[in-house]
Structure 1
Amino acid sequence: MTTVSSSSDAATGTAAAPLLEAKDLTRHFRVGRGFSRQLLHAVDEVSFSIGQQEIVALAGESGSGKSTIARLLAGVYKPTSGEIFYQGRAMSTYRSRKDQLSYRGDVPMVFQDPFSSLNPAFRVSHGVLRSLKLHRPELSREQRYAEAERVVEAVGLSPASDIMNRFPYELSGGQRQRIGFAQALAHKPKLILADEPVSMLDVSIRIGLLNLMAELRESQGVSFLYITHDIASARYVADRLMIMYAGHVVETGPTESVLQNPKHPYTDLLLGAVPDPRAPLSTGIEGDTGEPPKVIDPTPGCRFRWRCPLAIEKCHNVTPTLRILGPNHQAACHVAEPDIGS
Structure 2
Amino acid sequence: MTASDIELVGTTESAAAPLIEARELTRHFRVGRGFSRQLLHAVDDVNFTIGRQEIVALAGESGSGKSTIARLLAGVYKPTSGEIYYQGRAMSTFRSRKDQLAYRSDVPMVFQDPFSSLNPAFRVSHGILRSLKLHRPELNKQQRYEEAERVVEAVGLTPAGEIMQRYPYELSGGQRQRIGFAQALAHKPKLILADEPVSMLDVSIRIGLLNLMAELRRSEGVSFLYITHDIASARYVADRLMIMYAGHVVEKGPTESVLQNPKHPYTDLLLGAVPDPRAPLSTGIEGDTGEPPKVIDPTPGCRFRWRCPLAIDRCHEETPQLRVLGTNHEAACHVAEPDRAGSGSATVPG
TM-score (norm 2): 0.92
- SS at 1:24 equivalent: strand
Please state how far the C-alpha of 1:276 moved relative to its aligned partner.
Answer: 3.4
Please state how far the C-alpha of 1:115 moved relative to its aligned partner.
Answer: 1.3
Q: Deviations over 1:204-237 (max 9, x none)?
A: 0000000000000000000000000000000000
The one-letter amino acid paired with 1:93 is T
Cα 1:30–1:225 change in 2 (3 A) is same
The one-letter amino acid paired with 1:267 is T
2:286 paired residue number? 286
- SS at 2:306 equivalent: helix
Please state how far the C-alpha of 1:15 moved relative to its aligned partner.
Answer: 7.8
Distance 2:276 2:327 in 1: 25
Q: What are structure 2's unaligned runs of at least 5 residues?
A: 1-13, 344-350
Q: Deviations over 1:131-153 (max 9, x none)?
A: 10010011000000000000000
Alignment of 1:1-342 (within 5 A): 16-283=16-283, 285-290=285-290, 292-341=292-341, 342=343
The one-letter amino acid paired with 1:199 is S
The two structures, once aligned, show a CA RMSD in angstroms of: 1.2
Please state how far the C-alpha of 1:17 moved relative to its aligned partner.
Answer: 1.1
Q: Is the 8 A contact 2:269 2:287 kept in 1?
A: no
Distance 1:15 1:248 in 2: 29
The one-letter amino acid paired with 1:321 is Q
Q: Is the 8 A contact 1:30 1:37 kept in 2?
A: yes
Cα 1:119–1:325 change in 2 (3 A) is same
Distance 1:279 1:107 in 2: 35
Cα 1:15–1:158 change in 2 (3 A) is closer
Please state how far the C-alpha of 1:277 moved relative to its aligned partner.
Answer: 2.1
Q: Is the 8 A contact 2:262 2:282 kept in 1?
A: no
Distance 2:19 2:281 in 1: 35
Distance 1:279 1:212 in 2: 25
The one-letter amino acid paired with 1:85 is Y
Distance 1:225 1:189 in 2: 13
Cα 1:15–1:154 change in 2 (3 A) is closer
The one-letter amino acid paired with 2:50 is I
Q: Deviations over 1:162-192 (max 9, x none)?
A: 0000000100000000000000000000000
Q: Is the 8 A contact 1:300 1:316 kept in 2?
A: yes
The one-letter amino acid paired with 1:68 is T
Please state how far the C-alpha of 1:289 moved relative to its aligned partner.
Answer: 1.9
2:5 paired residue number? none
Please state how far the C-alpha of 1:288 moved relative to its aligned partner.
Answer: 2.0
Cα 1:256–1:240 change in 2 (3 A) is same
Q: Is the 8 A contact 1:287 1:309 kept in 2?
A: no
The one-letter amino acid paired with 1:37 is R
The one-letter amino acid paired with 1:31 is V
Distance 1:58 1:292 in 2: 20
Please state how far the C-alpha of 1:308 moved relative to its aligned partner.
Answer: 0.2
Q: Is the 8 A contact 1:108 1:184 kept in 2?
A: yes
Q: Is the 8 A contact 1:270 1:284 kept in 2?
A: no
Q: Structure 1 runs of 4+ off > 6 angstroms?
A: none
1:9 paired residue number? none
Please state how far the C-alpha of 1:90 moved relative to its aligned partner.
Answer: 0.3
Please state how far the C-alpha of 1:16 moved relative to its aligned partner.
Answer: 1.8
1:3 paired residue number? none
Cα 1:80–1:151 change in 2 (3 A) is same
TM-score (norm 1): 0.94
The one-letter amino acid paired with 2:273 is A
Q: Is the 8 A contact 2:106 2:190 kept in 1?
A: yes
Distance 1:291 1:276 in 2: 27
Distance 1:312 1:202 in 2: 42
1:4 paired residue number? none
Cα 1:206–1:15 change in 2 (3 A) is same
Distance 1:103 1:193 in 2: 13
Distance 1:164 1:138 in 2: 22
Q: Percent identity?
A: 89
Alignment length (residue pairs): 329
